[in-house]
């Protein structure tokens, strides 16, 4: 079914502007028949943040920004879906064009700038699908014109906690000017204190909603020391490493598109994101689990993320180039790795290579 859909749609989608192709894909997912997916092999199950994931492969934030198709995505075989980024008020984002495919590199540059239908529209959809279950995380961000960005996060957590499996505090998008400053020590400490307070305030209605922090791969290691220290002190439930990068590796072949402003994702992000994941893992010292993403485009790349310290993974860009078959390919490779290494569960290989990765030379920028 997926294969047929893709063979029919792929040639068309690649002739379209990336944002139009994305819009069409979301429309097709809305129309997809609600077939029940095959059950996952039990060895792929992960328990993290006190949640049960049937498999560890998640749809990253940014694909379903407005919470339109989380159930269709779960049915495609994802173990979890992160919707958003959702902002309190609707906002249009940056002028188009604002998404670019770097075909030769397997990369994407986007400067969408939190185009969002706003909290009310997403809340209505998420409340309606809540009985369906499944792990659906909600990624929240501040409005561009907000006078008090921290207050935006607090407001969003209070609203969304009752319908969220977990909430992600996204302070790492490069496309809202100044947003990444919320990763600086004092601002982050204040933000996380208030966000965790907000979660506690609604615990009676919403239960103990896990709060995750999504960071940029462009932090310095000194900044990462601070971020991890604050995340641990404020007792967040996990971190996501990470968002898109502002850097442009010298290896990029599509040098024209590489000049576009915005965040780079996909294969060229893999070395930096995986290094930052390992650096985060050694600093976290098992205080909480990590979600690893950035450039996963094969089973081997997925496996490397677990070995660098991820308990769960997410992906987005590679789906544009490799299609939905990649989800099954990754799951098959993870099972094959468990068999090769005679391990009972993925947890047994999480972080196995983290120290070695941090000892390598810094990935070429
Ligand atoms: C078109 C596009 C839109 C994105 N929008 C968001 C977003 O709204 N919020 C967010 O936290 N990350 C967003 N991301 C970042 C992804 O969630 C992910 O962190 C990044 O793309 C690295 O993963 P990948 O290499 O598998 O794509 C977006 C990425 C792309 C390509």
Question: Mean of the pLDDT values across residues 211-234?
Answer: 97
Percent of the chain with pLDDT over 70: 97
- Three-class DSSP category at 340: helix
Question: Mean of the pLDDT values across residues 184-195?
Answer: 93
| 247 assigned to active site | no
Question: Mean of the pLDDT values across residues 270-292?
Answer: 98
The pLDDT of residue 4 is above 60: no
Confidence of residue 36 (pLDDT cuts 50, 70, 90): confident
Q: Which pLDDT value is given to residue 12?
A: 67
**Residue with the nearest Cα to atom 24 of ligand 1?**
294
The pLDDT of residue 21 is above 90: no
Output the CA–CA distances (angstroms, integers) from residue 151 to 147, 165, 174, 181, 191, in the order listed.
Answer: 9, 22, 20, 15, 9
Between 27 and 168, the more confident residue is 168
Question: Mean of the pLDDT values across residues 322-333?
Answer: 93
Ligand 1 center to 344 CA (angstroms): 32
Of the candidates 297, 301, 313, 306, the residue with the CA atom closest to the CA atom of residue 345: 306
Of the candidates 112, 85, 113, the residue with the CA atom closest to the CA atom of residue 100: 112
The pLDDT of residue 32 is above 90: no
Confidence of residue 8 (pLDDT cuts 50, 70, 90): low
Ligand 1 center to 204 CA (angstroms): 32
- Binding-site residues, ligand 1, Cβ < 6 A: 60-62, 65, 84-85, 99, 108, 110, 112, 139, 170, 173, 214, 243-244, 265-266, 269, 293-296, 315-318
Q: What does the pLDDT look like over 95-124, one tens digit per residue?
A: 999 999 999 999 999 999 999 999 999 999
Q: Which pLDDT value is given to residue 268?
A: 98
Q: Which pLDDT value is given to residue 173?
A: 87
The pLDDT of residue 336 is above 80: yes
| From 146, 165, 172, 173, active-site residue | 173
Q: What does the pLDDT look like over 295-319, one tens digit per residue?
A: 999 999 999 999 999 999 999 999 9
Decide: 116 and 87 in contact? Cβ < 8 Å. yes
Decide: 83 and 65 in contact? Cβ < 8 Å. yes
């Amino acid at each position: 079914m997926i294969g047929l859909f893709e063979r029919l749609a792929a040639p068309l989608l690649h002739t379209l502007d990336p944002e139009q192709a994305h819009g069409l894909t979301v429309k097709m997912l809305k129309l997809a028949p609600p077939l029940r997916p095959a059950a996952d092999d039990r060895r792929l199950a992960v328990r993290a943040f006190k949640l049960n994931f049937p498999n560890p492969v998640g749809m990253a934030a940014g694909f379903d920004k407005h919470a339109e198709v989380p159930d269709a995505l779960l049915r495609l075989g994802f173990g979890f879906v992160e919707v958003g980024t959702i902002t309190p008020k609707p906002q249009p984002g940056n002028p188009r064009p604002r998404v670019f495919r770097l075909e030769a590199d397997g990369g994407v540059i986007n400067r969408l700038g939190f185009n969002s239908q706003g909290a009310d529209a997403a809340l209505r959809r998420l409340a309606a699908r809540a009985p369906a279950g499944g792990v659906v995380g909600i990624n929240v961000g501040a409005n561009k014109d907000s006078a008090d960005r921290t207050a935006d996060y607090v407001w969003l957590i209070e609203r969304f906690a009752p319908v969220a499996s977990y909430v992600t505090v996204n302070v790492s998008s490069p496309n809202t000017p100044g947003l990444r400053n919320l990763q600086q020590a004092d601002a982050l400490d204040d933000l996380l204190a208030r966000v965790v307070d907000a979660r506690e305030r609604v615990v009676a209605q919403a239960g103990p909603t896990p709060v995750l922090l999504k960071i940029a791969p462009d932090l310095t290691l000194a900044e990462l020391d601070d971020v991890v220290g604050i995340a641990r002190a404020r007792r967040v439930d996990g971190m996501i490493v990470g968002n898109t990068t502002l850097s442009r590796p010298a290896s990029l072949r599509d040098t024209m598109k590489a000049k576009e402003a915005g965040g780079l994702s996909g294969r060229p992000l893999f070395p930096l994101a995986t290094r930052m994941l390992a650096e985060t893992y050694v600093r976290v010292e098992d205080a909480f689990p990590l979600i690893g993403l950035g450039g996963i485009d094969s089973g081997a790349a997925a496996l490397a993320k677990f070995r660098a310290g991820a308990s769960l993974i997410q992906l987005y860009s590679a789906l544009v180039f490799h299609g939905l078959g990649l989800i099954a390919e990754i799951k098959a490779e993870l099972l094959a790795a468990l068999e090769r290494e005679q391990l009972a569960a993925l947890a047994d290989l999480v972080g196995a290579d983290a120290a070695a990765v941090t000892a390598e030379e810094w990935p070429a920028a």
